[in-house]
Structure 1
Amino acid sequence: MLTLEEVFPPFALRIAGAPLELRVLRDDDLPKLVELVRAGIQVPDLPMPFLQAWHEEPFAPGSPDGFPTTSLRWWWTQRATFAPDEWRLALVVRHEGELVGMQDLHAKDFAQTRNVMTGSWLGRAHHGMGIGTLMRQLVVAFSFDELGADQCESGYIVGNHASASVSRKVGYLDNGRRRIVQRTRHGTVGVDEQRVVVTPTTFVRAEDQVSVEGANAVRRFLGIDHKSTGA
């Protein structure tokens, strides 16, 4: 009988660098993930970091409209729409075995653009420990070394000093600003987003070695030519 990892190869992916481990989100992770969100994500004195305030929706398990159902739709949609021309890896981050946040890796028309985009969040109790910087370093290293990306893009709301600091530490450079729309608890607002980009030349790697398992299967699943990667 086939294993789940053979049916959906991203489940076999493991990116690790002491003391962190990144793996693709599984249904078994969801209860802990929901509790992590309920305990708080956003730092009170920093701007709301997301396009939509999904993390502040009323907690209503079993309801079709509240959290976590609304977020489950999003997480499950990422699997349902996974394809070589557009894919998103929703990676659960564990620190010394404890689930502490998520790191997303997203690409569209990767074979032509060699460009990936990242987004992430941490449970508030795990801020200020260097975890945000290391998880970004791990996923950027994977993008360059295993997927053969030419650049990684990200962005943060202007005024979010914590996110800006992580980007600088990892070697991202400013890549222009744009006006975007956020849907907050208090309505729709316009805010400025700072775009940033990192390349293999500017990338600041983690001190510890990065270990990757399952990359070959993921590359085949995404139609990425192994010869064109740095691995």
Structure 2
Amino acid sequence: MLTLEEIFPPFALRIACGPVVLSVLRDDDLPELVELVRSGIQVPDLPMPFLRDWHEEPFAPGSPDGFPTTSLGWWWTQRATFAPDEWRLALVVRRDDVLVGMQDMHAKDFPQTRHVMTGSWLGRAHHGQGTGTLMRQMAVGFAFDELGADRCESGYIVGNHASAAVSRKVGYVDNGRRRIVQHTRQSKVGTDEQRVVVTSTSYVRPGDEVTVDGADGVRRFLGLEGGRRDA
């Protein structure tokens, strides 16, 4: 009988550095992830970091509305629509075997663009330990070294100094601002987003060794044989 990893190769991906491990979100992770969201994400006195305030929806387990059902639909959709032309990797972040956050990677027409979008968040209780910087370094390094990306792009709401600091530490540089709309339960709100970009020349690697398992299967699944680059 085939294993789940043979059926869907991204499930075999594991990126590790020191106490931090990134792996593709599985259904078994969901109860722990839901509890992490409930314990709080947004840092007081900082701008709302998401396009939609999904993390503040009413907690309604077993209901078709509210959290976690609406978020489950999004996480499952990423897996269901995973394809070479457009893919999203929802990576759970564990530190010392405890789920502490999520690191997302998204690409469209990657073989032609060699461009990856990154986004991430940590549970509020897990800030201040260097995890946010390290998980982003690990994801960017995977994109460059294992997939052959030319650049990774991200963004943060202007005024979110914590996200700005992480971006600088990883080697991102400013790449223009744009006006975006955030959706809250009260209304739609216009705000400014700072775009940032990192290339292989500006990228700052982690101080400790990074190990990657399962990258070959991901490359085959995406039609990227030969895409790996020596670090």
Counterpart of 1:181 in structure 2: which amino acid?
V
**Identity %, equivalent residues:** 79
Q: Does 1:75 align with 2:114?
A: no
Shift of 1:184: 1.6
1: CA distance, partners of 2:185 / 2:99: 27
Q: Does 1:7 align with 2:2?
A: no
2: CA distance, partners of 1:184 / 1:171: 31
The secondary structure found in structure 1 opposite 2:156 is strand
Shift of 1:225: 2.8
Other-structure match for 1:214: 214
- Deviations 1:143-185 (CA, angstroms, capped at 9, x unpaired): 0000000000000000000000000000000000000000023
RMSD: 0.6
1: CA distance, partners of 2:55 / 2:128: 20
2: CA distance, partners of 1:16 / 1:146: 14
Structure-to-structure mapping, 1:174-185, within 5 angstroms: 174-185=174-185
Counterpart of 1:230 in structure 2: which amino acid?
R
2: CA distance, partners of 1:139 / 1:87: 15
The secondary structure found in structure 2 opposite 1:221 is helix
Other-structure match for 2:49: 49
Counterpart of 2:133 in structure 1: which amino acid?
T
Unaligned 5+ segments in structure 2 are none
The secondary structure found in structure 1 opposite 2:41 is coil
Q: Are the counterparts in 2 of residues 16 and 212 from structure 1 also a CA contact under 8 Å?
A: yes
Other-structure match for 2:190: 190
Q: Are the counterparts in 2 of residues 149 and 229 from structure 1 also a CA contact under 8 Å?
A: no
Q: Are the counterparts in 2 of residues 13 and 214 from structure 1 also a CA contact under 8 Å?
A: yes
Q: How many residues align?
A: 230
TM-score by length of 2: 0.99
TM-score by length of 1: 0.99
Shift of 1:44: 1.0
Q: Does 1:132 align with 2:140?
A: no
